[in-house]
Amino acid sequence: MSKGPLYGANVFANGIRQHYLRYGGKGPVVILIPGITSPAITWGFAAERLAEQYDVYVTDVRGRGLSSTGPDLDYGLDAMAQDVISFSNALGFNKPAIVGHSMGARIAMRAAVSAEGAFSRLVLVDPPVSGPGRRPYPSKLPWYVDSITLAEKGIDAEGMKAFCPTWTLEQLRLRAEWLHTCYLPAIVKAFEDFHNDDIFGDFANLKQPCMLMVAGRGGVIEAVDEQEISGLNGAIEITRVPNAGHMIPWDDFDGFFLALGDFLSR
């Protein structure tokens, strides 16, 4: 049975309302940044496991969940990275760790590079490595647009199954309930930036301990990418979850935590 978060709350940081869910409440602080269409609550099942050892804060990235949204906001990578820096400062954290998934991993990297020394360590879970002149991100934009458009009108778990056929009923229900909170222009901007923002320079400039977690069946990060990343920054620890697609903890929950190991508490 899910225990749920300790509480949800909002903080005004970087000029917007940032909503978050707090799990655990004890141990070192970990900020968890979800991916492109994952409101904070959809990461609850993984946050609860992390909360056995850490004080976990899962954020709603701007334009998603209960954080600020609308046509007047900047949904670029730099703005989202500054959100994380300001969020950490507003809550008085002292060098928290960050776990970021997909888009959230790109945000984590840009935040760490932009505010050197602000974060103790990073876990980058299958970040898109597409960019100018690079291999495109394997997911296609219509997959996001179509599912969000249906969610805005109202969709149930059975309807969502067409988009996420391997997910459990509980996961499908949660996505069907919350996907409508993903502001479509924010999603389109983030997807376009997967191809317009080259993050390999960020890999090179990371100074803190960093883990890159690769989905074995995701097709997002390939061997050639791992080689380039290692060449740019040999200190990055690369781990793999062989039987998982891009949504690693959804596909292989135990494999996700096996790959993570004790990295956050070393």
Query: DSSP of 133-145, one letter per residue?
Result: TSPPPSS-HHHHH
Among the residues of the chain, which ranges form H helices?
44-50, 77-90, 103-114, 141-153, 157-160, 169-178, 184-196, 200-205, 223-232, 248-251, 253-260
- Catalytic annotation on 195? no
- From the candidates 158, 222, 237, 265, give the one annotated as an active-site residue: 222
Separation between Cα atoms, residue 35 and residue 199, nearest integer Å: 16
Contact (Cβ atoms closer than 8 angstroms) between residue 15 and residue 73: no
3-state class (DSSP) for residue 182 = coil
**Beta-carbon count within 10 A of 16 CB:** 21
- Catalytic annotation on 68? no
Pick the closest to residue 175 from 22, 70, 44, 67 (CA basis): 44
- Catalytic annotation on 228? no
DSSP letter for 213, please.
E
**Longest distance between any two alpha carbons in the chain, whole Å:** 48
Contact (Cβ atoms closer than 8 angstroms) between residue 48 and residue 23: yes
- From the candidates 102, 120, 130, 147, give the one annotated as an active-site residue: 102
DSSP letter for 180, please.
G
**Beta-carbon count within 10 A of 224 CB:** 10
Cα-atom radius of gyration of the chain, to the nearest Å?
Answer: 17
Contact (Cβ atoms closer than 8 angstroms) between residue 16 and residue 72: no
Q: Catalytic residue numbers?
A: 102, 222, 246
